[in-house]
């Protein structure tokens, strides 16, 4: 019987596509929690993995002429290394649903539930798209047609195994009422109570048309379907039915960290499976928000998925981790923009933390020959010690509540306090006045604060803590959270200045593509723009300007003079009679003495330029919106 294990999971990801920053966000958050708990001395089991069965992967593999496992394995490999490896994901176990250990567990559970009557055979009604070879539920159909291809679907009825959710409905409802901590944040809890109160239908947990999955024991025409397979990974990884010692200390899980879109499966289906198995329920299911791209949901199909590998190649692991953990507050949605990532890095990591380290070590070098002064407790004002002690407790509280961004905010408050303290104490004046004791206390306080920060940041950042410690003259890595207490004895240590801990990122907004939703405008803004169709009447070269043309454009009511910088791309003669789109309510501007009353729309790419025009002719003056 081992000591109790702090068990945290991420969802297992579906490797049909490469993962994006959203997945990285969930996983980094779980990693920070796992690292924190190791630091405070808990035995930790941190599990992530991949959910590899199902129709979609079967189809994708088929398209590539591969077996499903062949198709999926390189993707899984990539997720483990480089993706999670370089992001520093310190998982203790990586589970794949295609592993034998998992198949055995799923089949045994299934068998047991059949035997005790919680799973029964019935008839499943669904819809099937023949050309797509896809099954759909009624609610997914678009106007009664296949949501993928829009073609008609046919009704299929087939034998299926059903899981008796209805039987456990009241028990689950009561459980959620009795355990306010079970579903977080509370808004999700309300939604789930609502959902359950509406009544639970039994869930179809097998399919006949899909071959890529775990067969139903004793009935190999049926494959165990989706959630029943996926959710039970949490039991497999905890050793259920095969590693009794591990299971006894690890189960129930402390936290299932999930995206808000799968909260329901984790708080309805999953607890009922556990109830049916007579197992205790996890302490908490936390549904975190999404990382949006500007305002939009991120997704492969939306073409805006941000590749995490690209991000840490460009900005480094610590800036990325810090940004993810700091920017998205508790349960709410966060918004990814490159501008915000750069800002967080420059302001927090470079200006505040990096610069504090730089100025502290510089002063110890200059005013104390590089050796770390010791503290004269009796004469110290205790300002930094007090703040450090407060932050120490706050971080504990926040991390226990899964409030990761609040914990980081708290740590950076200590850093800011230290920067301010320098301003208040003016060590350079103390040095001039030869006030040795006061100077020593200040320098020690700053050094000690940075040492404490290096401990506090250990769960969040991978490289910075040890780089800070090296510059502080410390050689031992951080081992325990308790090291973040004020009063370390630094005798014999000397600082070792290096280059900036986090160099400021020079970043020009205009250079970046892909974050156009960063400056999203409302439709009311768009309506301010008056676009109209016009026809070019005349076109002539503007003397003394090598790229300007002077045009007259009839906009339905009058001829406008428009000066346009398109001479390199269009000969005047080619433009006459051409329809274009003009911006009609632009303030007039003067070019080479000619007043231009508007602009033409044109697209450009790498030196190419093309005017925008209606595909079919329209009357002049027709609005464009």
Partner RNA sequence: GGCGGCGUAGCUCAGUUGGUUAGAGCACACGGCUCAUACCCGUGACGUCGGUGGUUCGAGUCCACCCGCCGCUACCA
For RNA, the binding residues (CB under 7 A) are 11-12, 14, 16, 51, 54-56, 135-140, 165, 187, 190-191, 194-195, 198-205, 225-227, 230, 260-262, 264-265, 268, 329, 332, 335, 343, 347, 349-355, 357-359, 362-363, 366, 416, 419-420, 422-423, 426-428, 500-504
Q: Closest approach of Cβ 81 to RNA, in Å? A: 21
Unique residue bearing structure tokens 């995490």 = 308
**Please, which residue, 262 or 594, has the CB nearer to RNA?**
262
Closer residue to RNA, CB minimum distance, 360 or 552: 360
CA 254 to chain centre: 21
- R_g (Cα) of the chain, nearest Å: 31
Which is nearer to RNA, 21 or 613 (by Cβ)? 21
Which residue, 335 or 564, has its beta carbon nearer to RNA? 335
Q: How far apart are alpha carbons 24 and 30 in whole angstroms?
A: 10
Nearer to RNA, 363 or 407 (CB): 363
Q: Which is nearer to RNA, 409 or 538 (CB)?
A: 409
Q: How far is the CB of 312 from RNA (least distance, A)?
A: 18
Task: Provide the minimum distance between the beta carbon of 13 and RNA in the complex, in angstroms, as a whole number.
Answer: 7
Distance CA 24, CA 309 (A): 10
Q: What minimum distance in Å lies between the beta carbon of 539 and RNA?
A: 40
Of 8 and 192, CB closest to RNA:
192
User: Whose Cβ is closer to RNA: residue 65's or residue 199's?
Assistant: 199
Residue number with CB closer to RNA (11 or 271)? 11
Q: Measured over all CA atoms, what is the biggest interatomic distance in the chain, rounded to whole angstroms?
A: 91
Report in angstroms how near the CB of residue 510 gets to RNA at its nearest.
16
Chain-centroid distance of CA 171 in Å reads 34
Tokens of 294: 């500007």
Q: What are phi and psi of 101, to 5 degrees?
A: -60, -35
Cis peptide before 252 (omega within 30 of 0): yes
H or E, element range at 35: helix 21-39
CA 418, 424, 425, 428 torsion: positive or negative?
A: positive
Q: What 3-state DSSP class applies to 419?
A: helix
User: What DSSP element (H or E) covers 44?
Assistant: strand 43-50
- Shortest Å distance, C-beta 590 to RNA: 27
Instruction: Please state the closest distance from residue 419 (CB atom) to RNA, in A.
Output: 4
HSE, side-chain direction, 13 A CA sphere, residue 128? 14
Shortest CB 146 distance to RNA, Å: 13
Instruction: Tell me if residue 299 falls in helix, strand or coil.
Output: coil
CA distance 623 to 353: 53
How far CA 436 is from CA of 330, 357, 423, 607, in Å, comes to: 45, 21, 18, 65
* Least distance to RNA, CB of residue 524, Å: 10
Smallest gap from residue 324 Cβ to RNA (A)? 14
What does DSSP assign to residue 371?
Answer: B
Residues 6+ apart with CB under 8 A from 389: 485, 486
Q: Which is nearer to RNA, 14 or 94 (CB)?
A: 14
Query: DSSP strand E in 132-275: where?
Result: 134-136, 154-163, 183-184, 203-204, 206-207, 214-216, 219-224, 255-259
Query: How far is 512 from 540, CA to CA, in rounded Å?
Result: 35
Q: How many CB atoms lie within 10 A of CB 73?
A: 17
Give min distance, CB of 1 to RNA, in A: 33
Q: Which is nearer to RNA, 427 or 534 (CB)?
A: 427
């Amino acid at each position: 019987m081992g000591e109790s294990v702090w068990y945290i999971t991420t969802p297992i990801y579906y490797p049909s596509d490469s993962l994006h920053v959203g997945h990285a966000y969930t996983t980094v958050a779980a990693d920070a929690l796992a690292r924190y708990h190791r630091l405070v001395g808990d035995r930790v089991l941190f599990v992530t993995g991949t959910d590899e069965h199902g129709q979609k992967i079967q189809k994708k593999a088929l398209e590539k002429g591969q077996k499903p496992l062949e198709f999926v394995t390189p993707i899984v490999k990539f997720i483990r290394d480089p993706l999670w490896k370089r992001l520093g994901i310190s998982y203790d176990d990586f589970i794949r649903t295609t592993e034998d250990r998992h198949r055995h567990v799923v089949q045994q559970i299934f068998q047991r539930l059949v035997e005790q009557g919680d799973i029964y055979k019935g008839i499943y009604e669904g819809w099937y798209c023949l050309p797509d070879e896809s099954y759909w539920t009624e609610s997914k159909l678009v106007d009664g047609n296949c949501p993928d291809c829009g073609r008609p679907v046919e009704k299929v009825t087939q034998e299926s195994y059903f899981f008796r959710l209805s039987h456990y409905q009241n028990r689950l409802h009561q459980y959620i009422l009795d355990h306010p901590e079970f579903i977080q944040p509370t808004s999700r809890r309300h939604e789930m109570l609502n959902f359950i109160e509406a009544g639970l239908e039994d869930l179809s947990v097998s399919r006949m048309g899909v071959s890529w999955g775990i067969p139903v024991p004793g009935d190999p025409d049926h494959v165990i379907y989706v959630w029943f397979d996926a959710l039970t990974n949490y039991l497999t990884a905890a050793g259920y039915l095969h590693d009794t010692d591990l299971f006894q200390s690890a189960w129930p899980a402390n936290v299932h960290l999930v995206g808000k879109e799968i909260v329901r499966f984790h708080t309805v289906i999953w607890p009922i499976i556990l109830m049916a198995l007579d197992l205790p329920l996890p302490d908490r299911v936390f549904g975190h928000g999404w990382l949006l791209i500007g305002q939009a949901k991120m997704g492969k199909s939306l073409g805006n998925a941000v590749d995490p590998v690209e991000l840490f190649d460009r900005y480094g692991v610590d800036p990325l981790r810090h940004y993810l953990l700091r920017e998205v507050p508790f349960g709410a949605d966060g918004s990814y923009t490159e501008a915000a990532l750069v800002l967080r890095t420059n302001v927090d990591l470079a200006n505040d933390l990096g610069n504090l380290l730089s100025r502290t070590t510089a002063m110890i070098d200059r005013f104390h020959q590089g050796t770390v002064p010791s503290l004269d407790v009796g004469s110290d004002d205790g300002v930094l010690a007090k703040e450090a002690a407060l932050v120490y407790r706050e971080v504990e509280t926040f991390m226990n509540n899964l409030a990761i961004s609040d914990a980081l905010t708290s740590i950076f408050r200590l850093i800011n306090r230290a920067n301010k303290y320098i301003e208040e104490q003016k060590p350079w004046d103390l040095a001039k006045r030869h006030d040795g004791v006061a100077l020593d206390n200040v320098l020690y306080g700053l050094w000690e604060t940075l040492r404490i920060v290096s401990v506090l940041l250990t769960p969040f950042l991978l490289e910075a803590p040890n780089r800070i410690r090296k510059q502080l003259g410390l050689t031992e890595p951080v081992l325990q959270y308790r090291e973040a207490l004020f009063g370390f004895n630094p005798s014999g240590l000397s600082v070792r200045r290096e280059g900036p801990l986090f160099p400021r990122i020079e970043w020009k907004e205009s250079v970046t593509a892909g974050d156009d939703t960063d400056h999203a405008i409302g439709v009311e803004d768009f309506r301010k723009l008056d676009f109209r169709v016009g026809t070019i009447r005349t076109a002539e070269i503007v003397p003394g300007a090598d790229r300007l043309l002077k045009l007259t454009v009839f906009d339905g009511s009058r001829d406008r003079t428009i000066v346009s910088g398109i001479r390199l791309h269009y000969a005047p003669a080619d433009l006459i009679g051409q329809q274009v789109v003009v911006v009609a309510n632009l303030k007039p501007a003067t070019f080479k003495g000619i007043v231009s009353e508007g602009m033409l729309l044109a697209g450009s790419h790498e030196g190419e330029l093309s005017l925008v025009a209606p595909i079919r002719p329209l009357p002049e003056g027709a609005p464009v919106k």
